[in-house]
Amino acid sequence: MILLLSALLAVEAIDLEMTPQDKKKTGVFKLRDQEKATLQAWIDSRYEKRATALNQKAVPATKPSVTEIFYNGKYVRLSDGSLWNIRPQDTPLTQSWISSPEIIISSSQDATYPYKLTNTLTGSSVFAKKAAELPATNPS
């Protein structure tokens, strides 16, 4: 009876913590309940569970802030030294970032501009991509 209960809890843990995509990617969706329980027991006997999941990004103690804006808002440099190329339709927003606001960097759903920079003072966001260096002349 106890073995059955622990098997059910292990199956539930795997089923609750893994997304359908994770189950498909890892092959767990093919396992029977007893196999899931055995896998969970093996994991539990060798590893400690983290307090927070890795995919939950920790908030940094300090956020980078805007230090320079180039070419009418087309490029932004942050206090951490990173340089960002701003999506053209978002440059009117970056042109208005004049008070060195702190920025939250997150991912976006845009393949060309895969990051979102959010101004913590105004809440406005722009899409951006990392840039290695500034172009020699103002890009049109």
**DSSP reduced 3-state for 67:** strand
Among residues 36, 38, 79, 35, the alpha carbon closest in space to that of 117 is found at 79
pLDDT score, position 5:
45
pLDDT of residue 54: 56
**pTM of this structure:** 0.56
pLDDT > 90 fraction of the chain, expressed in percent and rounded: 41
The pLDDT of residue 7: 46
Distance CA 96, CA 49 (A): 45
Task: Say what the pLDDT of residue 8 is.
Answer: 46
Query: What is the pLDDT at residue 61?
Result: 55
- Give the tens place of pLDDT for each residue, 10-41: 456 677 777 778 778 888 888 888 888 888 88
Q: What pLDDT was estimated at residue 65?
A: 93
Give the pair of three-digit tokens for residue 94: 């970056």
Q: What is the pLDDT of residue 113?
A: 96
Q: Which residues of the chain have pLDDT under 70?
A: 1-13, 50-62, 140
| C-alpha to C-alpha distances, 105 to 9, 52, 63, 74, 84, nearest whole angstrom | 38, 20, 9, 17, 11
Supply angle C-alpha 23, 27, 33, rounded to 5: 75
